[in-house]
Chains A and B, each alone.
Chain A
């Protein structure tokens, strides 16, 4: 079946540090890949997405590149802010309109 594995947290960084959160997936075919973010007390929000190999999704300074050869979709940001503190979820979707399969989430804490 489909699955998503992401690095366990928490990840603790100082403000302006470089962020990488690893995500790898298992799926047949060509899934779409997503990063969702959950800020404290709020619902899941779509952060970025990529729908085919070598696509790069980007939003709010975050980026992730769909790497089919390594089945990965690592999230990166060059300079994190305290306001980026949240839980980040990597997810895949096999077919348009179908369900999302999520990883376990990675908590990011950014200290001033």
Chain B
């Protein structure tokens, strides 16, 4: 069990550019979540997947944001036409009923810090 990994750890981009982040969940975890955390705030939910199906999206997830989990393993989060307000830490978490019992405990990755200049 290597934990949840995220790449890259840091990304600096110019306003208007597109960026893509990757999350690799704990092996065999069937649920994967994306959150956004701005400085001094708690994480806010963006979206989550069960296997390859995207089950819920927050209203925070504008049409410039898209997330995929094509084979039910890793996931990508893409932000198109980035804005300065997108600067934040993007967190990924995964969970599984099978491995963690009935409570679906979420295990978080280290995050990708995005800075839009």
Contacts and interface: CB of A to CB of B under 8 A. Distances in A.
Most buried by B among A4, A91, A96: A96
A105 B42 contact: yes
Interface in B97-117: 97, 102-111
Given A44-B43, A99-B48, A49 B33 contact: no
Contacts of A49: 103, 105
Contacts of A102: 42-44
Contact of B56 (A46, A99, A101): A99
Interface of B: 4, 31, 33, 35, 40-45, 48, 50, 56, 58, 91, 93, 95, 97, 102-111
A9 to B, nearest CB: 10
Contacts of B41: 104-105
A105 B40 CA distance: 7
B33 A99 contact: yes
Interface string A13-31: 0000000000000000000
Interface of A: 4, 32, 36, 42-46, 49, 51, 89, 91, 93, 96-105
Nearest to A36: B108
Contact of B108 (A4, A45, A97, A99): A45
A96 B102 contact: yes
Contact of A96 (B43, B44, B91, B103): B103
B91 A51 contact: no
B43 A100 contact: yes
A51 B31 CA distance: 19
A43 B111 contact: yes
Contact of A97 (B40, B45, B50): B50
Given A49-B103, A97-B95, A99-B56, A44 B108 contact: yes
Contacts of B111: 43
